[in-house]
Amino acid sequence: MLGDKKVVFSGVQPSGNLTIGNYLGAIKNFSRFSEEYKTFYCVVDLHAITVRQVPAELRRRTYETLALYMACGLDEQKNTLFVQSHVPAHAELGWMLDCYTMFGELSRMTQFKDKSAKHSENINAGLFTYPTLMASDILLYQTDLVPVGIDQKQHLELARDIANRFNQVYGNTFAIPEGYIPQDTMKIMSLAEPTSKMSKSDTNQNAVVYILDSKDDIIRKFKKAVTDSEAEVRFSEEKPGVSNLITIYRAFTGKTVEEVEREFAGRGYGDFKLAVGEACADGLAAVRDEFARLMADKAHLEAVMKAGADEAAYYARKTMSKVRRKIGFVN
Ligand code: AQP
């Protein structure tokens, strides 16, 4: 809690062009909290450097991610929008929490295992301690609720464990955060390999639909999406490709599974894929237009970042002074 409001925190890494997985699993849900909660939405650039980034691209994507937050409906007057590296308390608390996190706990994180396999030439210590920095992001603002996709559930549970451990040693210091994981869209799958998560760092461009893809590209990618040999639009675990397309179609049209199955009964996959592509492209058109408008005014984006960082730093300072005192650092 901050004052009389519960707190929401979430972040997205500027580590690539954002996908409809990032959009449906996370960003699209952010604005629903703006009125009732105190909301902090962060571009987590410190997390992004756990994987090697091209400096100019990292800088550009940091602006773009902020602009996408705003284009997806986050009003800077109602939400604290900022860049993680602009508030040094994230890294500072991250180090302290490293000392309250066990090596064994970090070793069990599936994202660490996946990313070390994917980036075997650069298994750095930051990749290993990533979840502690994420715990710091969340705990710094006394967060109650964290809207994320299901892939972040394990990290979130670790953040809760770290907070509980610290609170047990020093008395109540951190709020214990809960996840907000949207049931229908918690994991959007790759279009080329529908048993794997759609990921912004996937090198197969046809596997991933980016929020900023053109309508033609979106339709082309859905046309190529992997399905199965049955030609039946039905939601089932045995049909991961078709089920993933149904999930995406539902997210953009608001229809139920039964409605979608009825709509495409007796029709081939060609019709279905085209309809999914069109619904997705049309659903994102307003975001794309607003994004282009926002990116044309860099000075405004910089003003938003600066105001957001000032406000975030104000609340972060409060938590940090409590933490320092409890640990025993001289003030
Ligand atoms: N496919 C997905 N379905 C649902 N939610 C997803 N998220 C990511 N992919 C999907 C959610 O988006 C938020 C931001 O993710 P992130 O930037 O922290 O990185 P990530 O989870 O590692 O996402 P990517 O796209 O897979 O990035 P890379 O390729 O850089 O590792 C999170 O809430 C996440 O759950």
> Which residues constitute the domain of residue 35?
7-185+298-327
Residue 6 annotated among the catalytic residues of the structure: no
Asked if residue 200 belongs to a domain, the reply is no
Residue 239 reports pLDDT greater than 90: yes
Asked if residue 235 belongs to a domain, the reply is yes
C-alpha count within 13 angstroms, C-beta hemisphere, residue 309: 17
The model's confidence at residue 201, banded by pLDDT at 50, 70 and 90, is confident
- C-alpha 41/C-alpha 134 separation (Å) is 13
Give me the pLDDT at residue 233, please. 96
CA-derived radius of gyration, the chain:
21
Mind listing the pLDDT tens digit for each residue in 210-232?
999 999 999 999 999 999 999 89
Give me the pLDDT at residue 209, please. 98
CB of 13 within 6 A of ligand 1: the answer is: yes
CA angle, residues 81, 28, 216, in degrees to nearest 5:
115
Candidates 28, 38, 115, 273; catalytic one: 115
The amino acid at residue 248 is: I
pTM of the predicted structure, to 2 decimals: 0.94
Q: Are residues 35 and 65 in the same domain?
A: yes
Candidates 197, 221, 239, 273; catalytic one: 197
Residue 318 annotated among the catalytic residues of the structure: no
Asked if residue 2 belongs to a domain, the reply is no
E strands of 32-79, at which residues? 38-43
The amino acid at residue 317 is: R
Asked if residue 199 belongs to a domain, the reply is no
Give me the pLDDT at residue 326, please. 98
CATH number for the domain that contains residue 273: 1.10.240.10
CATH number for the domain that contains residue 169: 3.40.50.620
Chain mean pLDDT for the chain:
96
Number of domains the chain contains: 2
Q: Are residues 287 and 308 in the same domain?
A: no
Q: Are residues 19 and 161 in the same domain?
A: yes
Q: Are residues 120 and 66 in the same domain?
A: yes
pLDDT above 70 as % of the chain: 100
Q: Are residues 57 and 179 in the same domain?
A: yes
CA distances from 50 to 19, 61, 149, 235 (A): 20, 16, 20, 37
Asked if residue 195 belongs to a domain, the reply is no
Residue 118 reports pLDDT greater than 90: no
Mean pLDDT of 121-148: 97
Q: CB-based contacts of 136: which residues, under 8 Å, 6+ apart? A: 90, 91, 93, 94, 96, 97
Q: Are residues 168 and 214 in the same domain?
A: no
C-beta atoms surrounding 231 within 10 Å: 13
Residue with more model confidence, 309 or 203: 309
Mind listing the pLDDT tens digit for each residue in 271-292?
999 999 999 999 999 999 999 9
- C-alpha 245/C-alpha 249 separation (Å) is 6
To 10 degrees, what angle do helices 125-139 and 153-170 make? 70
Distance in Å, CA 22 to ligand 1 centroid: 5
- The pair of structure tokens assigned to 328 is 């025993």
CB of 25 within 6 A of ligand 1: the answer is: yes
Q: Are residues 19 and 73 in the same domain?
A: yes
Q: Are residues 12 and 147 in the same domain?
A: yes
Atom of ligand 1 nearest to the CA of 22: 12
Q: Are residues 169 and 22 in the same domain?
A: yes
